Amino acid sequence: MAVCIVIMMLQEKLVLKREKKLLLSDNTKEWDYALEKYESNSYRNIRADSMKKDLKKIYRIRLSAVCFLFGLFAFAYPVFNYIRQKTSRDNEYLNTASATENIFAFFLTIFGTLCILTSVYQFLGLPVYLFLRKNHENTEAIERSYMEGKMICGKLNGLNVGFEYCIYYDLFGVDCINVRNIEYAEAIIKIKKEKSTSGFYHKVKQDISLKLTVKDRKFPYSIDLNELQLDNICDELMRRGVKIIKKYFKGEINNDYF
């Protein structure tokens, strides 16, 4: 399972690298083609003939792989700690150091187990089944809105903007939002400038996100996006009568490693 997921993720990265190379070339036709592909990549094409199958693909390819890899990394230290204690001959060192290390390894084992279980939960598509069971009365309308909508995928979540409903997903579940219940959307861009006090380097970091405030919901839905995705999803929401509030934050971080 993990090998297939990693191979598919590597294939997507190779395609993006080729398109970036085309963007840097001098050939006008290739540049136009690459620009068109780059803009189209801000949306994710629906890759199945139903909402259920498409959401299951998202969970299997995008989200379950992340949790599975986190689980493997978390198990690395407990395994290393166990082998080291079995093979080490320095008993005095083990008596003084192994207590805190074993506690740390114990918590990492719990964290890794939870990540693996979450990965299995996502790979089996259980969040999708729970979502369909919860909204069984409006399944046809939600399905029609989803298949005709535009899908934007962030790092660990995403949003499908349809004419009547918006479908939000994250690591733990899927939720349906009636467009009429969206009070407003916040387009947030945080620009952080990192520079050394000696002035040897200068780096700009952008944190871009969209927050949807919905009636009768305490916390807003939040999605991490890039700048192009943010512009496109704001355009789609504005076409549906959603109020957009844009917020810009700027700051500086001084770092000096010398």
Q: Residue 254 and residue 196: Cα distance in Å, rounded?
A: 5
Q: Map residue 246 onto helix, strand or coil.
A: strand
Domain chopping of the chain, boundaries: 2-123, 147-254
pLDDT of residue 229: 87
Higher pLDDT, 213 or 255: 213
Higher pLDDT, 43 or 200: 43
CB-based contacts of 26, cutoff 8 Å, min separation 6: none
DSSP string, 163-190: SSEEEEE-SS-EEEEEGGGEEEEEEEEE
- State pLDDT tens for residues 80-93: 877 777 776 555 55
Q: Give the angle 100-104-107 at the CA atoms, nearest 5°.
A: 140
- Pair of tokens at residue 180: 């009429």
- State pLDDT tens for residues 193-202: 766 655 555 6
Question: Picking from 1-5, 39-43, 253-257, which range would have the lowest pLDDT averaged per residue?
Answer: 253-257
147-254 maps to which CATH number? 2.30.29.30
- Pair of tokens at residue 246: 């844009």
- State pLDDT tens for residues 154-194: 888 999 999 899 999 998 899 999 999 999 999 998 887 76
- Pair of tokens at residue 160: 């499908």
